[in-house]
Amino acid sequence: MSQSQSLSSLELGRKTRIAGYMKNCKSSYKMKLLALGLTRGTEVLKIKTAPLGDPMEIELRGYRLSLRKDEADVVLIEKEKQ
């Protein structure tokens, strides 16, 4: 069984799927992330992280997206087995 964790904790080069959002995430902020394509079940790959760990770059739906750590903290993921 997989456990949920935040997108910001995903290791480089790992793929995962979005499981949902933190309960304390504001609805307007959640709508922004959903509009960017971060919907439940979407597969994401962590491409790289800036030298100080913020921002991070992910690939999803055929494009790359940069997210700040605090943005990625509210996105819940499920680790996939490799």
pLDDT, tens only, 9-60: 899 999 999 999 998 888 888 999 999 999 999 999 999 999 888 899 999 9
pLDDT, tens only, 58-81: 999 999 999 999 889 999 998 655
Strand partners, 75: 21
- Check residue 16 and report its DSSP letter: E
How high is the pLDDT of residue 46?
Answer: 94
Which residue ranges make up each domain of the chain?
A: 4-79
Q: Does residue 4 carry a pLDDT above 80?
A: no
Q: How far apart are CA 50 and CA 68, in angstroms?
A: 10
Class of domain 4-79: mainly beta
Strand partners, 66: 57
Banded model confidence at residue 1, pLDDT cuts 50, 70, 90: very low
